Amino acid sequence: MELLNSLSETIQKLWNNSGFTGGHWTQYVMIAVAFILFFLAIVKKYEPLLLVPIAFGILIANIPGSGVINMDFYDPDFIQSMGYSEGTSFAYRELLSTGGLVDYLYLGIKLGIYPPLIFLGIGAMTDFGPLLANPKSLILGAAAQVGIFAAFLGALALGGFNLGEAASIGIIGGADGPTAVFLTKTLAPHLLGPIAIAAYTYMALVPIIQPPIMRLLTTKKERGVVMEQLREVSKTEKILFPIIVTVVVSLIIPDATPLVGMLMLGNLFRESKVVERLKSTASGEMINIVTILLGVSVGATAVGTSFLRLRTISIILLGIFAFIIGTASGVLFGKIMYAVTKGKVNPLIGSAGVSAVPMAARVSQSEGQKANPKNFLLMHAMGPNVAGVIGSAVAAGILLALFG
Amino acid sequence: MNLFSFMSYIYLLSSSSDGLTRGSVVALAGFLVVLFILALLVVFITLMSGTLSLFEKKESKTEVMPSKELLQSTPEEKPGDGPTIAVIAAAIAAFESGGKLPEAPSPGFKIKKIRRLY
C-alpha cells in the first residue's frame, strides 16, 4: 500500500511538473500559431530559412513550464526595481545567475548584434550590378518606403501607440526583418515579438500579398512591357559602389551606419575579389548561424501571455497595411517612370522596392511573364529590390535619429 | 544647417500640435529625406559610371599591343605601308622555326623590329 501511495505521489508530482498543467490558453494558441508557421515553411516553402527557426522558437517558448526565456531581464521596470543605474539595458546580474540559453541568445538582438551581421551576409550575397546598370531604380526603392511612413501615421491615428512604437510598427512596411528588429529593439523593445513576427511572416507571404495589388494598379499592356537589356557593369564600378554608399549614407544618417555599413562591407568582400575566404564565410556559415540564433530568439519572444493582446492584432493589421501601401507606392512610381520614359519601364518592377530580396523580384518576374511570356523582368526588378534594402535601412536610420 | 537640424526644426515646429499632426510632418519629412538620399546616390552612381566610362574609352584608345590573332590576320594593305602585319607574322614564324627571314618589302624593315614586336 505504501508503495502504491509513493508511486501515486511520484506520478502526481511528474504530472504537476509537466506542461499539461498550469498552461495559459494563450500559450496553446501560440503553439497553434507555431504549427501554422511550420506548415507555411515546410509544406508551402515560404521563406523556410526564417520561418522554421522562428516557429520553433515560438513552440519552445510557449510550452507551459519550459521557461526558456525570461523577458523580465530586459524589462525597464524590472531593471529599475533591481537597483540598476538608469540606461542599463538588461539585468545582467540576474541573467548571469539564472539565465538560460535563449536568454543569452536574445542578447544578440537586445544589443543590436544580429541584424548588422545578417546585413554583412546579405551584402556578400548581393549583386548590385542591376542597380548600377540602372541607377534610377534607386528611386523605386525609395518610393516603396512610403509604406513605412503611412503605417507610422496609421498607428498614431489608431491611438494607443507612442511615436517610437508607431515608428517600429511602420518599419514592417520595409519588408526587411533585420531592419525591423534593429529599429524595434531600440524604440519599442516590448513590441519586438509581434513586430518581428509580422515582418518575417509578411516577407514570407510576398507571393500572396503582392500580385493582386500589382494587377489592380496596372494594365495588361503595362505589365507586358519588355525592358531593354541592362548594360554591363565594370568591376571598378562594383568596387566603388559600396564605398560611396557607405560614405554618403553614413555622413547624412549616422544612425544607419551599422546596417548600411555592414551591408556594404559584405558587398566589398564580394566585389573586391581579394578576400574570398571572408566573403564565403560572411555569405555562408556566418549568416546561417546568425539566422538560426536570430530566428529562435525572435520566436521565443512571442510568449502567449504577453503576445496575444489587442495591441498585437493592431500591429499585425498595421503591418499588412504598411506592406500593401509600400507595394502600391512602388508600382505607382513605376507607372510614373513608365509614362516619363514613354513605355520603356515596366511598372511591375516598382513593387520589388519593398526589399524582401529576392522574393519580391521573383514576383515581378512571374507577373510580367503572365502578361507576356517573352518578358524577363528578374534582373530589372533586382535593381529596385536591392535599392529597397538600402532604402529601408536609411528609413530606419531616420526614425532612430528622430525617436531613438 | 545640416539635414538633421532641418528635421529637428520641422519637429519643433509641429511640437505644439497634436500627435497626429506632428506625426504627419515627421512622416512627410522622413520620406523626403529617404527620397533625397537615394536620389543623391543616383547622382553619385551616374557620375561615377560616366567618369569611369571616359577612362575606359581612353584606355581602349591607347591599347597598342597587337594580339596574336591580330598578327595572324590579313588586314587590307595599302601601297607604301611598309611591312604589313601578315609579313611580320610570317617573319616571326620563320624566326621561330630557325629558317630564313622573308625578303623585306621596304627598306626600313629590320630584324630588330621583329624582335621587339615579338
- b/e per residue, A36-70, with b = 16+ CB within 10 A? ebbebbeeeebbbebbbbbbbbbbbbbebebebbb
Q: What's the pLDDT score for residue A66? A: 79
pLDDT computed for residue B61 by the predictor: 45
pLDDT (0 to 100) of residue B10:
61
Which portions of chain B are predicted below pLDDT 70? 1-19, 57-118
A143 band by pLDDT with thresholds 50, 70 and 90: very high
Residue A3, Cβ density class (10 Å: 0-12 exposed, 13-18 middle, ≥19 buried): exposed
CA–CA distances in Å: residue A322 to residues A148, A169, A283, A299: 6, 9, 29, 22
B22 by DSSP, 3-state: which?
helix
Which residues touch B73 (CB under 8 Å, ≥6 apart)? B85, B86
Cα–Cα distance, A397 to A148 (Å, whole number): 12
User: Taking residues A72-88, what's their average pLDDT?
Assistant: 82
Q: Report how far residue B114's alpha carbon sits from residue A222's, in angstroms, rounded to the nearest whole number.
A: 61
ipTM value for the complex: 0.85
Instruction: Test A390 with B41 for CB contact under 8 angstroms.
Output: yes
A228-248 per-position pLDDT tens digit? 888 888 999 999 999 999 999
What is the pLDDT, as a whole number, of residue A54? 92
Say what the pLDDT of residue A9 is.
86
pLDDT tens digits for range B20-48: 777 888 888 889 999 999 999 999 999 99
Check residue B100 and give its pLDDT: 56
Phi, psi of A56 (to 5 degrees): -70, -35
Alpha-carbon span A147 to A153, nearest angstrom: 10
- Distance between CA A318 and CA A314 in Å, rounded? 6
Residues A105-129 have a mean pLDDT of 92
How confident is the model over A158-164, as a mean pLDDT? 87
Phi-psi region of A273 (alpha: psi -120 to 50; beta: other; left: phi over 0): left
**Lookup: cell for B64:** 597598342
Interface of A to B at Cβ within 8 Å reads 131-132, 135-136, 138-139, 141-143, 145-146, 148-150, 152-153, 156-157, 163, 166, 234, 236-237, 240-241, 244-245, 248-249, 252-253, 387, 390-391, 394-395, 398-399, 401-402
Residue A146 has pLDDT above 70, yes or no: yes
Q: Within an 8 Å CB–CB cutoff, is residue B19 touching chain A?
A: yes
User: B64 and chain A: CB distance < 8 Å anywhere?
Assistant: no
Q: Give tens-digit pLDDT for A289-329.
A: 999 999 999 899 888 888 888 888 899 999 999 999 999 99
Higher pLDDT, B2 or A96: A96
Rg of chain B in Å (alpha carbons): 33
- Cell 534610377 maps to which residue? A136
Nearest residue in chain A measured CA to CA from B19: A156
Residues 24-53 of B with CB under 8 A from A: 24, 26-28, 30-31, 33-35, 37-42, 44-46, 48-49, 52
Average pLDDT over residues A349-356: 89
Torsion angle of C-alpha atoms A130, A132, A134, A139, degrees rounded to 10: 100
Q: Is A258 exposed, middle or buried (0-12, 13-18, 19+ CB in 10 A)?
A: buried
Nearest residue in chain B measured CA to CA from A135: B42
Q: Residues A154-166: what's their mean pLDDT?
A: 89
d(C-alpha A263, C-alpha A117), whole Å: 8
The average confidence (pLDDT) of chain A is 90
Structure confidence by residue, pLDDT tens digits, A27-61 = 999 999 999 999 989 998 888 888 899 999 999 99
Q: What is the distance of C-alpha A74 from the center of its chain?
A: 21
A145 phi, psi to nearest 5 deg = -80, -5
Lowest model confidence (mean pLDDT) among A101-115, A223-237, A369-383, B93-107: B93-107
At position A288, the amino acid (one-letter code) is: N
Residue of chain B whose alpha carbon sits nearest to that of A326: B31
Q: Which three cell numbers stand for residue A227?
A: 525592358
Q: At what angle do helices A310-340 and A192-204 cross, to 10 degrees?
A: 40
